Amino acid sequence: MDKILSVSRSFFERYRNKIAFFMLCVSIFSFAFVALKNFDNLKVPYFNGIYDDVVINIETPDLDGIPIKLYLGNDKTFNFISRFRTKNPLAITNYYSNTIDYKKYKKLSIIYPADFTFDLRNYIATSNVFIGNKHFYFGHKDIKFFEQKIIEVNGKKVKQIILPSEIRKFKNAEYMNYKGNYNAVAVVFLSFFYSAFTLYLIPWILFIVGIWILKNERLKIPTSIILSAITLLAIYLRFNLFTEYPMWWDECYTATITGDIINPFSDIFFDPGNPPFFALVSRLWQSFVPNTIEWLRTLPLIFSVGSILTLYLLIKTRINTKTALLASFLLTVSIFHINYAQDYRAFSLSSMLTPLVVYFMFKMLEKMNFLNTFLFVLFSSMIFSNHLYGTILLIVNFIYGIWYILTKYQEKLKSVLTFLCAHLLVGMTFLPYFFNTFLQKAVLNSNFNVWLPDMCWWVFLNALRAMFGNWQIALSILILSIIFIVCMFCFKNKLFTQVDTKQREFIFYLIYLVFGFLLVNITISSIRAIIMEYYFMLIYPMSIALISTLFMLNWRYKFINVILSFGLLYTVSHMDYNNLWKFKNVYGSLTQVSNADAINYKKNKVLVYEQIEPPKYGELFELEPNVVVETDFNGGSEDFTKFTKKVRKYAKDNPTQFAIFNAWYSEVTSQDQAIFEDGNFEYIAEFIKTPYDINDGILRVVLLPQK
């Protein structure tokens, strides 16, 4: 038996690299084969799939009792439904249907029973069609010339109104809702990770085992090439569908109020929930670039890519190059991080600053000269004034720094005073904002951020989901952290190899920082709610650093590293937190529908009721000349009651004037509907369905001259 094992071991050592290369080649072929086979059905968080959602709206008289359906071919149909109806004199209602399955479609059509003698084309007044963020508008003059024929669907004869061939996401694409080759490449690549255990398990097993079999000396690729490739990949993924989702409320708020250079400088202190640093950076950015969604979102994209490089710098200097490259790659493919690269707010900047704050804190603790102290104060001041969670980071770091000085330094008093003075300088930079805004509007205001959820179990789980992926991963990281701490103190590197003092101390710090940051958040939220999942973007790079470091530890028993590789893959597959608010707003669609109405009714007003100040709305969205913006800046749950009252008042003041009111629809109450119906003017009130979120759309009210 021993001889057989010896021969087998000798054979394996002789051919291990050939075996490894064979497994790697087979795994790569398997990845490609699985991706090609499942190409049409691939989906990843945030970007969704290869094909877009399609929404069809048709405006017709009340068609109760007439089964109108959206026909997708192969006997597949979706019903047309109506969300909002009133007892208006013209009985005009908007019916909508959407595909919601992200399948590919060459063409769509509307079908209704062939035994109905009327021609539906003569009754459809308008149609608003959305393929993702692409909008198509058809008036009655267009619709009555749509092709119609009789076909058989599910054994029944129906009349089929074929939608025009120009309804395409991309003009020359074979399928009308294909999102383009750029997106397809991004989705295929990300699916390797986010569908790792549902589609690619066998390829990953071959790949991971092949990597571990291959001798390391065969993988000597220059670090600069690997880091450059990671950076280019990060840029590519963050540019994918860069403007697909319209700017949502908070982005518009930042772009047009606190961060708009044409506003008074004092407006950077306007927001009690967001310190002024990003608003200041935004003003500087807007002084050089046009105020468009493309240019505005380029700023957080730059910071997002920058955070990958700052994290690499930190981990390389404190741990090693391999771990730094892994951490950079994990941040690159993280959906959570990609999402906020496309969000014009402070989060990407925070994620770039956090590694720099930690980097210069350690530089300062190691050598308290002027340069290190100055740079620590500089970057700490930036993050302190960029997001309120920066306060928690500095508190946790301050405690660690004092402990470090007391245990490492001989001149303890002088060093403690230097470290304390550095933090006092950081605090002083926050004072203008504190006294101008934060004290009165936040600290002493019991209504500040009342929308944040009170501390409870699901809030805690959501925080873990943002930081780690889910609670199971968080628990695994905690267990690995405890094992590492116990081994370092009790077994003196008997389970791990190649962990020097500098690395050990930094891993201790990462464990303390990540879980300490979470603990401080939970403690404060138990008194006053401060937790919202995406706020953890500030600490997210350090969570990635901890995950990378623990999974890259060299265990003396190699099979543990192989098992942990699959644990790391599972962790990556759950880095999928994304802000659903971006899907739930319809600013882009609202603009598209309003502009279509404005073109259709050139001599009349189209009024848009929104929460953005009227002069600012036109800066972000191109509006037709006869589109007028009404606003109620404070917003709130009463928005649509206020909206309906505005419509009533306008109708009373202008009884003979045609006008259209379009508003972001969230939930129309019975009270709102009663306000509409309690009038002596003619109108059409309807819900126009928009893409992305199943519940949201536009509330469109058309006021007609009295007869």
> For residue 615, is pLDDT > 60?
no
In this model, does residue 509 exceed pLDDT 70? yes
Among the ranges given (22-31, 555-564, 634-643), the one the predictor scored with the smallest mean pLDDT: 634-643
What band does 634 get if pLDDT is binned at 50, 70 and 90?
A: very low
How does pLDDT run across 226-262, given as a tens digit for each residue? Answer: 999 999 999 999 999 998 888 887 888 888 888 788 8
How far is 162 from 146, CA to CA, in rounded Å? 6
What end-to-end distance do the CA atoms of the chain give, in Å? Answer: 102
Whether residue 608 contacts residue 662, with contact meaning beta carbons closer than 8 Å, is answered with: yes
Which has the minimum average pLDDT: 277-286, 399-408, 447-456, 613-622? Answer: 613-622
**For 28-41, how does the pLDDT look when each residue is reduced to its tens digit (9 = 90+)?**
999 999 999 999 99
- Record the tokens describing residue 310, joined without a space: 């700052």
pLDDT at 425 over 50: yes
**Is it the case that residue 208 has pLDDT exceeding 80?**
yes
Task: Kindly state the average pLDDT of the residues 312-329.
Answer: 96
Q: Is the pLDDT of residue 673 over 90?
A: no
Q: Is the dihedral of CA 183, 184, 186, 191 positive or negative?
A: positive
Q: Distance (Å, rounded) from C-alpha 698 to C-alpha 543?
A: 40
* pLDDT at 514 > cutoff 90: yes
Higher-confidence residue of 143 and 660: namely 143
- Tell me what percent of the residues of the chain surpass a pLDDT of 70: 85
Give the model's pLDDT for residue 326: 96
Matching residue, tokens 């129906």: 158
Binning pLDDT at 50, 70 and 90, where does residue 419 land? very high
pLDDT surpasses 50 at 638: no
> In this predicted model, what pLDDT tens digit does every residue of 444-498 receive, in sequence order?
888 888 888 888 888 899 999 999 999 999 999 999 999 999 888 877 667 777 7
Query: Which pLDDT belongs to residue 617?
Result: 67
Only one residue has tokens 């919601």, namely 100
Helix (H) or strand (E) holding 300: helix 293-318
Report the 10 Å Cβ neighbour count for 22: 14
Mean pLDDT along residues 495-504? 83
Stronger pLDDT, 645 or 668, i.e. the higher one: 645
Average pLDDT of every residue of the chain = 85
For the record, the structure tokens of 574 come out as 């759950």
Q: What is the pLDDT of residue 90?
A: 47
Exposed, middle or buried by CB within 10 Å (0-12, 13-18, 19+), for 74?
A: exposed
H-assigned helices in 434-500: 457-468, 471-486
Q: Could you give the CA distance from residue 365 to residue 527 in angstroms, rounded to a whole number? A: 33
378 vs 678 pLDDT, higher one: 378
Output b/e per residue, 344-375; b: 16+ Cβ within 10 A.
Answer: bbbbbbbbbbbbbbbbbbbbbbeebeeebbeb
Contacts by 156-160 with C-beta closer than 8 Å and gap 24+?
Answer: 156/113, 156/114, 157/113, 157/114, 157/115, 158/71, 158/111, 158/112, 158/113, 158/114, 159/111, 159/112, 159/113, 159/114, 159/116, 159/120, 160/71, 160/109, 160/110, 160/111
Does the pTM surpass 0.85? The reply is yes
Which tens digits make up the pLDDT trace of 127-167?
A: 999 998 899 999 888 999 999 999 998 888 999 999 998 88
The domain limits of the chain are 1-53+180-220, 55-162, 241-572, 583-704
- Which residue type is seen at 647? V
Residue 598's pLDDT is 85
- Top pLDDT among 81 and 617 is at 81
In the structure, what pLDDT confidence band is assigned to residue 671 with cuts at 50, 70 and 90? low
Asked if 647 contacts 684 with a C-beta cutoff of 8 angstroms, the reply is no
d(CA 545, CA 562): 20
Q: What per-residue confidence (pLDDT) applies to 660?
A: 67
